[in-house]
Amino acid sequence: MVINPNALGLDLPPGIMRVQPSLWYADEAAGPHTWASLLAAREASGMQPVLLVNDARRSLAWDEGNLDVDQVSDPDDHEAEETLRHLWDWVQAEDGDDVDADTIAPFTPEWPGLAPAGARDADPDAAAARVAAELLDTDQLPGARAGLVPARRGADIPAALGWTGACNHTDTGLLSAVLRSWEDRFGIRLLALHFDRMDLSVAAPPRTMPDALAVAAEHHAFCPDNVWQGFDTIRDYAAEAVLGKEHWSFWWD
């Protein structure tokens, strides 16, 4: 049974409950403390908090048929390392004869394996509230609205919604399986979903370059556009976007 959070007497803004897929979203734009305010609703309803962003370039209207649960597999059917191995192999095959050894150094086309878990420096929810406030305060999530999604854990939100923002790369159920592993190893929280982007907070980011490189390899499999369209090499990406970073962002073309 899905609980309508409007009926719980919580300090929530006016909002709308959608049935298929099930989600609640606020009528008004989110403020810096919105994500933190949704934690009480999570405890009361079992629904997971997320910020829903309507991208000005390519509209994703959360109340208009842009989500399709029939296109998404069940994360329970996938294992994170096998998923990343498969996606890594796909990325190498996509590069084909054009693969540049310098781009993926120190790695080879062979899957390097999972990165070690990070040392947790903060409570994941506290880190998420802080990062969400920073992103909203600096207008990096324009037009974001509070959302609540019935799911067992935050990593399952994209699959539960039928979000297809990465459909040119892979099935969303596979991404949620990887997000589950990142929740366990790095204390991530899914903060925001856009048309073709997601933003995560990270409570236990890698603190050494070798660990950052190992995580960057996973990111390259998960979302190769981060490296292909933003950095010359995985090493550059690891140093600038992963090492010590409490915010990970992924964008699919």
Q: pLDDT for 52-83, tens place per residue?
A: 998 655 444 554 556 888 889 999 999 999 99
Q: How high is the pLDDT of residue 58?
A: 47
Element (H, E) at 148: strand 145-150
20 against 186, higher pLDDT: 186
> For tokens 């991404």, what's the residue?
175
Residues 6 or more apart whose Cβ sits within 8 Å of residue 88: 111, 112, 217, 220, 221
Q: Give the number of other CB atoms < 10 A from CB of residue 101.
A: 10
Buried b (16+ CB within 10 A) or exposed e, 123-160: ebbebbbbbbbebbeeeebeebbbbbbbbebbbbbbbb
Q: Are 161 and 70 in contact (CB under 8 A)?
A: no
Rounded-to-integer distance, Cα 101 and Cα 105, Å: 6
Q: How many whole angstroms from its chain centre is CA 221? A: 14
**How distant, in Å, are the alpha carbons of 57, 60, 74, 182 from that of 246?**
26, 26, 28, 13
Residue 171 and residue 89 in contact, taking contact as beta carbons nearer than 8 Å: no
Highest mean pLDDT pick, 20-24, 49-53, 58-62: 49-53
Residues of the chain with pLDDT > 70, as a percent, come to: 91
Tell me if the pTM is above 0.95: no
| Per-residue pLDDT reduced to its tens digit, 180-229 | 999 999 999 999 999 889 999 999 999 999 999 999 999 999 999 999 99
Selected residue with higher pLDDT from 252 and 62: 252
What is the rounded distance in angstroms from the CA atom of residue 212 to the CA atom of residue 209? 5
Q: Which of 5-9, 83-87, 140-144, 156-160 has the lowest mean pLDDT?
A: 5-9
| 149 in Cβ contact with 193 (< 8 Å) | no
Arithmetic mean of pLDDT over the chain: 90
User: What pLDDT does residue 64 have?
Assistant: 53
pLDDT confidence of residue 47: 93
Is the peptide bond prior to 142 cis by the omega test (within 30 degrees of 0)?
A: no
The average pLDDT across 102-131 equals 94
**pLDDT higher than 70, residue 3:** no
**What pLDDT is stored for residue 32 in this prediction?**
95
Section 133-139 average pLDDT: 96
Altogether, the residues listed in the chain come to a count of 253
